[in-house]
Amino acid sequence: MGILAPIENLTHTIVSVPDLIEESLVVLGVVAVFVVLHAVLQRRLRSEVLRRHNDVAGYLFSAVGVLYAVVLGFVVVVVWQKYDAAVANVEAEVDAVGNLYHNVDAYPEPLRSRIRANLRSYADIVAEIEWPAMNRGVRMPAAGSVKLEAVAYTVDTFSPANFKEFAAQQAAIATAERLFDARRSRLIMAVPAVPSVLWFALIAGALAMVAFCYIFGVENRPAQLLMTAILVGLIGILFIVILEFSTPFSGSVRISNDGWVYLQQRLPDIQ
């Protein structure tokens, strides 16, 4: 009987450099738009008039800035936790398939071969069909669920003839339940974690922060434009972070399917 090697370290993060460069260019474009708009407003508004309200504007800017920073930071932490949980869940699902493959060692033929063939097919479906579908954000095909249902039916309907087969069935049932849970969690995590209403709140808060930059009166106008660029750029970068980590299986930063590829290569060699 073959031994399935540990696969925890096979699941890692894929970073698409071209996509990141494209997103960075978008952020730079947004920064340029807001800086140009600020420069136009600077020409139309007299700084000495705006400086009269700097005390009040500064107080409000601090209050709004703290509130927005808390919300933005909270969202970043939440999507990062989701991404980290998605990585752990992928590893759990891969481990469950490998464990179930071994749990049925005591099953008689042809049941053992039938279960293992379905598990190999399931690994092929996840690696070659479901992963690309999640990467594109399209609807998941039902083939994977069909294979798992066939495995569960064969495991559950088996009638043990001795204690060894009974113990194997109990272990297989428990592992199959963990496999179903892990698959369900993966499908849920493939859906973006940030709803539209929250995106609206984040964008509205960002516009409010930039608007406060516009109403400050500063003698050194180039320095004020630089501060506006830094603020907009930082918010834009955090938006990219939220967008990427909220979809752990797609985008420029995504989870690899190396664990499933490993299963495809290793399972056929296990006797």
In a domain, 138, yes or no: yes
Three-state DSSP at 128 gives helix
In a domain, 88, yes or no: yes
Give CA torsion, residues 169, 170, 174, 179, to 10 deg: 0
* pLDDT tens track, the chain, 271 positions: 444 444 445 678 888 888 889 999 999 999 999 999 988 877 777 666 566 666 666 667 778 888 899 999 999 999 999 999 999 999 999 999 999 999 988 899 899 999 999 999 999 999 999 999 998 888 888 888 999 999 999 999 988 889 998 999 999 999 999 999 999 999 999 888 888 899 999 999 999 888 888 877 667 778 888 988 999 999 999 999 999 999 999 888 899 898 899 888 888 877 6
190 half-sphere exposure, CB direction, 13 A CA radius: 19
In a domain, 119, yes or no: yes
Domain span at residue 126?
8-269
In a domain, 1, yes or no: no
Which pTM value belongs to this model?
0.83
Q: Can you tell me the distance from the alpha carbon of 82 to that of 200, in angstroms, rounded to the nearest whole number?
A: 20
User: Of 79, 90, 80, 116, nearest to 10 (Cα)?
Assistant: 90
Count of structural domains, the chain: 1
Q: Can you tell me the distance from the alpha carbon of 26 to that of 219, in angstroms, rounded to the nearest whole number?
A: 30
In a domain, 3, yes or no: no
Token pair, residue 18, equals 């071209």
